[in-house]
Amino acid sequence: MNFTPLAVAGAFLIEIDRKGDVRGFFARLWCRDEFAAYGIEIDVVQASISHNAKAGTLRGMHFQWPPSHEGKIVRAERGRALDVALDLRPESPSFLRSASVALDAGTHNAIYIPAGCAHGFQTLTDDCDIIYMMSDVYRPELAGGVRYDDRAFGLRWPLPVSIITERDRAYPNFDCARYIEQFQAAGQAAA
């Protein structure tokens, strides 16, 4: 596999290394040792799929509050999507920066999103399936989110939004000082 660092500290574009012949190709999608060589210590404990019927569907931007350590490896199983990581770790050198990757089932590429980052994507094709491998189980009581079009982040989406949940559309404007206070309180409560 090939790992390319992204603008969000600890996030990577992951591309497969195809070994092809007359049958097609073979490639590794996951290897604990290869990930560890890039500082990605991820113990996959949960995997999920998101099926999206229409192009332009937007999901996000979601995250888990501390004490969750939910890092994600995200890949398109069918179709294409623009996948976005937004750094919400106040201590990170890339705090409030984002990185995006066009995930494509035809290339089998993936993005690694570190714990503490918000995640979202917009489908670029109809019938798009996105696969997540996560390092922590989803805990609804720790679920948080920020608005996909909040000017504080300047996220750009390639298509008009065709489908989005009311929850994702209605997150309040981002208040940095309040967010940092909540983040620190959540971390202290977990300690």
Q: Which residues are the active-site residues?
A: 62, 132
What is the full DSSP assignment across 124-137? Answer: SSSSEEEEEEESS-
Q: Do 97 and 153 touch, CB atoms closer than 8 A?
A: no
Measured between its terminal Cα atoms, the distance across the chain in Å is 36
Of 16, 40, 48, 12, which is closest to residue 132 (Cα–Cα)? 48
Is the bond preceding residue 140 a cis peptide, omega within 30 degrees? no
